[in-house]
A = this chain, B = another copy of it.
């Protein structure tokens, strides 16, 4: 396997909407350019942060078509092919391929219950039906299956998987995954999805990160990754501490829970920072308002992302 192009900082792209809940192309391009200019190494579309679960197929491929054109080969484009079971995922894969993306990202099957045998067969089936590099997306909070490190490395050695986006929240198993992958000759690119502990993941051997918070502060993630690559762990930790505090935007939300608090906070922050024009969300999620917006602005100001005297947008 040659040197992979999938490493470093690859934010999962948050997608702006206008007041009518339609794709806001100007804001989308502004945000994409802002991340590429900051030096990110790739962009991941149609992930959880990209509201993939909420989009119809038509909306998904509208996003992807625009995204591929806007990125225009400046960095690799990864695309989520998120659906319930194997044949539906393959359906998504074939369409995503048609839009010219560089890699696909698939979860384990969800909704209907299975076991490890079905999970492994699922990834092998996708591989046979598609051509692009394939990443496994380990996301038990949504998928309710934890991917086994040994299986993942086996799929890497067999050429099924190019890498893993690990959002499992299980740093012990991620460490074992790093070690097993190393022992096997490093077939997999291992990307952590946990933006709050990228420094520790890098120290443990991660090949990159997929930070949702990178939509808000891509520069700090690029610098953090650079510091880690150079072995400047003191600097990496300082940057990570800043970013971990900035992640409080998702912790100060009171009015709702889950996705609406998480991606809802990201959108609200980007709206207040002037990158997005609204903080609109897809049905049935509602945009954050009132005290939640104020609390998010407070976090942004405390962490240097907004001027202290900047007004709250309404």
In the assembled complex, which residues on chain B have CB atoms less than 8 Å from the CB atom of A260? 114-115, 118
Within 8 A of B (CB), among A108-122: 109-115, 117-119, 121-122
Given contacts A54-B112, A85-B53, A114-B258, contact A201 B204 (CB under 8 A): no
A230 to B110 Cα, complex, angstroms: 42
A200 to B202 Cα, complex, angstroms: 9
Proximity string of chain A (120-141) to chain B, C-beta cutoff 8 Å, 1 when within and 0 when not: 0110010000000000000001
Q: How far is the CB of A156 from chain B (nearest CB, A)?
A: 18
Given contacts A258-B114, A284-B122, contact A175 B196 (CB under 8 A): yes
Contact of A87 among B56, B86, B122, B204 (CB under 8 A): B56
In the assembled complex, which residues on chain B have CB atoms less than 8 Å from the CB atom of A48? 112
Q: How far is the CB of A296 from chain B (nearest CB, A)?
A: 16
Within 8 A of B (CB), among A282-298: 282-286
Q: Are A109 and B284 in contact (CB under 8 A)?
A: yes
We find that the number of chain A residues with CB closer than 8 angstroms to chain B is 72
Q: Does A170 make an interface contact (CB < 8 A)?
A: yes
Q: Does A62 make an interface contact (CB < 8 A)?
A: no
Number of copies of chain A assembled together: 4
Q: Are B197 and A172 in contact (CB under 8 A)?
A: yes
Given contacts A112-B259, A200-B203, A231-B234, contact A56 B176 (CB under 8 A): no
Within 8 A of B (CB), among A133-190: 141-144, 169-172, 175-176, 179
Stretch at the interface among A25-33, A69-77, A238-246: A238-246
Contact of A282 among B87, B117, B204 (CB under 8 A): B87
Q: Are B54 and A284 in contact (CB under 8 A)?
A: no
Q: Does A312 make an interface contact (CB < 8 A)?
A: no
Q: How far is the CB of A74 from chain B (nearest CB, A)?
A: 29
A169 to B175 Cα, complex, angstroms: 13
> Which residue of the partner chain B has the closest CB to A173?
B196
In the assembled complex, which residues on chain B have CB atoms less than 8 Å from the CB atom of A307? none
In the assembled complex, which residues on chain B have CB atoms less than 8 Å from the CB atom of A142? 111-113
Q: Are B87 and A118 in contact (CB under 8 A)?
A: no
In the assembled complex, 10 residue pairs joining A and B whose CB atoms fall closer than 8 Å, in A order, are A53-B88, A54-B86, A54-B87, A82-B111, A85-B283, A87-B282, A110-B110, A169-B169, A176-B251, A204-B240
The 3 closest A-B pairs by CB, nearest first: A200-B200, A113-B258, A121-B284
What residues make up the interface of A, taking CB atoms closer than 8 Å to B? 48, 51, 53-57, 59, 82-88, 90-91, 109-115, 117-119, 121-122, 125, 141-144, 169-172, 175-176, 179, 194, 196-197, 199-201, 203-205, 231, 233-234, 236-237, 240-241, 244-245, 247-248, 251, 256-260, 282-286
